[in-house]
Copies of this chain bind each other. A is one copy, B any other.
Amino acid sequence: MTSSPRYLTGDAAGIHEFLDRYDVFLFDCDGVLWSGDHLFPGTNETLELLRSKGKQVVFVTNNSTKSRADYKKKLEGLGIPSTTEEIFSSSYSASIYISRILTLPENKRKVFVIGETGIEQELRSENVPFIGGTDEAFRREITPEDYKRVAAGDSSLLDPEVGVVLVGLDFHINYLKLALAYHYVKRGAVFLATNIDSTLPNSGTLFPGAGSMSAPLIMMLGQEPVSLGKPNQAMMDAIEGKFKFDRSRACMVGDRANTDIRFGLEGQLGGTLAVLTGVSSKEDFVSGPIRPLAYLDKLSDLLASD
């Protein structure tokens, strides 16, 4: 759509009308509620306002290294009250997708994980069996014997029950894990990624993100993974699978046009709301190819509705 987004800051009647249209608000977090470890003023009051009006609030993050329980602790650390049920991380999204949406043969239900403990916790919460992950047995060099065992399909190295390769951010990525993941997919495993963000912000600069863990496999396989993070709709399907909401009465709130707003638009949500406290600029939202329904200078401008 090329229509201009509505600017709601200072427009009390417009905000009131906008909020009335939705029952569910999906929030991107970093750049919307906070930046790094700095909570934006008015974040808590805005969330309280929405809750007081009976709105369902959902926190949607692509960070796969944390489980929902870990993320709840992060929210608490920043002073944001929340329940685990309100949190939707790409690690949880991936687990839901594997357990409730993918149909795997009885003997192919194990997941080979490239990633950290957040993924493992969420797979456990959905009773999905897995190998790899933080297991020290995979944090080693490849040996001459490994090449032969892989080539021979040795079941003590290549578990025949693995039917899914799930790739998230792994601070312990290594050659052996990449080699095994490649062979699992070549043998027929479904290739999934928690998210495909190439970089990860930390300490005010960028580091390799989950997408960078998938990149070698994408190049080797000539195949993209199904990504369960924003903007991929598999994540929206997984959120809907859990909350069963009416998409026409849901609104995605975010700071990035090409992930958050795109996620809401492609998910055919009733609304998309952008804020200017993160990555994308007013110019991006007003004149770019991906435009929200409305935008605000900052999230707490919603407080002017009353």
Interface residues of A (CB under 8 A from B): 141-142, 147-148, 150-151, 170-175, 178-179, 182-183, 198-199, 202-209, 211-213, 215-220
Q: Determine how close the nearest CB of chain B comes to the CB of A253; give it in whole angstroms.
A: 27
Contact status A208-B216, CB under 8 Å? yes
Contact status B215-A218, CB under 8 Å? yes
Contact status B207-A147, CB under 8 Å? yes
Enumerate chain B residues within 8 angstroms of A171, measured Cβ to Cβ.
141-142, 175
Contact status B204-A220, CB under 8 Å? no
Enumerate chain B residues within 8 angstroms of A220, measured Cβ to Cβ.
198-199, 206, 208-209, 212
Q: Give 30 CB contacts A-B under 8 Å.
A: A142-B171, A142-B207, A147-B202, A147-B203, A147-B205, A148-B203, A150-B203, A150-B205, A151-B203, A171-B175, A172-B174, A172-B175, A173-B173, A173-B174, A173-B175, A178-B212, A179-B207, A182-B208, A183-B205, A198-B219, A199-B220, A208-B216, A211-B219, A212-B215, A212-B216, A212-B217, A213-B216, A215-B215, A215-B219, A216-B216
Enumerate chain B residues within 8 angstroms of A205, measured Cβ to Cβ.
147, 150-151, 183
Enumerate chain B residues within 8 angstroms of A203, measured Cβ to Cβ.
147-148, 150-151
Q: Determine how close the nearest CB of chain B comes to the CB of A201; give it in whole angstroms.
A: 10
Given known A141-B172, A142-B171, A215-B219, contact A208–B178 (CB-CB < 8 A): yes
Enumerate chain B residues within 8 angstroms of A175, measured Cβ to Cβ.
170-173, 207-208
Q: Which of chain B's residues has its CB closest to A152's CB?
A: B203
Enumerate chain B residues within 8 angstroms of A217, measured Cβ to Cβ.
212
Enumerate chain B residues within 8 angstroms of A198, measured Cβ to Cβ.
216, 219-220
Enumerate chain B residues within 8 angstroms of A173, measured Cβ to Cβ.
173-175, 178
Q: Once bound together, how far apart are the Cα atoms of A199 and B185, in whole Å?
A: 14
The 7 closest A-B pairs by CB, nearest first: A212-B216, A151-B203, A215-B215, A147-B203, A215-B219, A198-B219, A151-B205
Q: Determine how close the nearest CB of chain B comes to the CB of A55; give it in whole angstroms.
A: 36
Enumerate chain B residues within 8 angstroms of A150, measured Cβ to Cβ.
203, 205, 207
Q: Which of chain B's residues has its CB closest to A181's CB?
A: B208
Q: Determine how close the nearest CB of chain B comes to the CB of A15; give it in whole angstroms.
A: 37
Q: Determine how close the nearest CB of chain B comes to the CB of A146; give it in whole angstroms.
A: 9
Q: Once bound together, how far apart are the Cα atoms of A195 and B202, in whole Å?
A: 31
Q: Once bound together, how far apart are the Cα atoms of A170 and B142, in whole Å?
A: 11
Contact status A151-B213, CB under 8 Å? no
